[in-house]
Amino acid sequence: MEQVVDYPRSGTTSLGSAPRDGRRRELASFLRSRREAVAPEAVGMPRTARRRVRGLRREEVAEAAGISAAWYTWIEQARDLNLSLATLNGIARALRLNEDERAHLFELAGQPIPVPEPRQDDEAMVSLRALLGGLDPNPAYALDSQWNVIAWNKGAEIIFGNLTGVPIEDRNYLRLIFTSQRLRELFVNWEEVARCSLAHFRGDSAGNVDEVRWELLVSDLKKRSRTFREWWKQHNVAWPHSWRKELRTSDGVRVYNTFDLALLRPMRLRIISYIPAIGA
């Protein structure tokens, strides 16, 4: 149960302050609409003639979410509350929210949007691969929320090799940068690329620190790379959308500007494209 103490509360993640009144009201309205849309039968409750409300009652949602009825009522009343990740996950589960609705709930509550597992067999992945193919011969690839390389074009294969048979956890971009001797030799400015990549990854970690997969990845990199382990302690953070990369190729050194593009829906992915630097 959510512990209710000394209303109103203060904390690090609050929907308070006047500029956010509209977001609190929007959250309350959204929850009421979703609650009214859930049929009692969908959650194992019989529909009776005496039921006068559409959908579920507030106390039914609260019980299913594992919070107090008063707490959930206050949320629907747009009060100034701190909503934890556990509370939001419980409400999303109780209201049978789909991925888009769940992301909307978290965004309205001011919490990091939960990242769904990439669906590599859906229509979006087909379109993504076609997009990457259209960027050939320039290298381009896509990373999921944990920096796993999930799609790439022929240009990227020339640089990174054919990754088709490599387990997804081993074709993680950060793991490749810090543990592959081939990539260390490939990038002329390896330290610059590695530091920039780590700072970007560290910035992403704020919304993922409690995820087991993320913790395992960081733990593994600390064990496998002394450089990663030492740099990780520095807490450098950056969100670069482009930077310079110098690659050793059979034709000599090639200089690229790489661009980082975000694809938020239906999957949270990033597309990294290499564009030859003008005049390099």
What domains appear along the chain, each with residue ranges and CATH number?
18-108 (1.10.260.40), 123-276 (3.30.450.180)
Ranges assigned E (strand) in the chain: 140-143, 149-152, 242-249, 252-263, 269-276
Q: What is the pLDDT of residue 191?
A: 95
In the chain, the amino acid numbered 73 is T
Cα dist from 200 to 60, 114, 171, 236, 264, whole Å: 42, 19, 18, 8, 17
- Indicate if the alpha-carbon torsion angle 172, 177, 183, 188 is positive or negative: positive
* CA of residue 48 relative to chain centroid, distance: 41
Mean pLDDT to the nearest integer, 220-236: 94
Q: Model confidence over 195-212: pLDDT tens digits? A: 999 999 988 877 777 777
**Beta-sheet pairing, 242-249 with 149-152:** unpaired
Quick one: pLDDT band at residue 51, thresholds 50, 70, 90?
low
| pLDDT higher at 131 or 121 | 131
Mean pLDDT to the nearest integer, 153-173: 86
Q: Mean pLDDT check: name the lowest of 73-77, 84-88, 121-125, 257-261.
A: 121-125
Question: Among candidates 71, 84, 77, which has minimal Cα distance to 25?
Answer: 77
Q: What is the pLDDT of residue 10?
A: 34
Mean pLDDT to the nearest integer, 34-53: 71
In terms of average pLDDT, the best of 48-52, 123-127, 142-146, 222-226 is 222-226
Q: What is the pLDDT of residue 115?
A: 59
Quick one: pLDDT band at residue 94, thresholds 50, 70, 90?
very high
Preceding omega of 137 cis (within 30 degrees of 0): yes
pLDDT surpasses 50 at 142: yes
Q: What is the pLDDT of residue 239?
A: 78
What are residue 253's DSSP bridge partners? 248
SS3 content of the chain, % helix, strand, coil (to 5): 45, 15, 40
Average pLDDT, the chain: 83
Instruction: Assess contact for 204 and 268: CB atoms under 8 A.
Output: no
CB atoms within 10 A of CB 221: 21
